Amino acid sequence: MGTVLQYLQVRALGLGLRGRHTAWFVVAAALWLMNRARRGEDVVYRTELKAGERLVIGTHPPGTTPAADA
C-alpha cells in the first residue's frame, strides 16, 4: 500500500504545483504526513513507564562519556 500512497502523493503534488487546484497540494501534504508516520524509522527507543518510574533524556558533547547520575 505504500507505493500506492507514494504514487498518489506525487500525482497530487504535481497537480497542486501546476496550479490545477490548491486542494491537490493539501492532499499531497496529507499523504506525505501519512507516509512519514507509517515508516516509523525515526523511533530510537520505546518503552512503557510504570507509576513512579522516570525517563531522563540528556545530551553530552561528542567524544565525552555521560556523567554518572548523582
* Domain boundary assignment for the chain: 2-39
State the pTM of this model: 0.44
SS (H, E, C) the chain: CHHHHHHHHHHHHHHHHCCCCHHHHHHHHHHHHHHHHHHCCCCCCCCCCCCCCCCCCCCCCCCCCCCCCC
CA distances from 25 to 3, 6, 7 (A): 19, 14, 14
Q: pLDDT by residue (tens digit) across 10-43?
A: 777 777 777 767 787 788 888 888 877 776 666 6
Judge whether 34 and 2 are in contact, CB under 8 Å: no
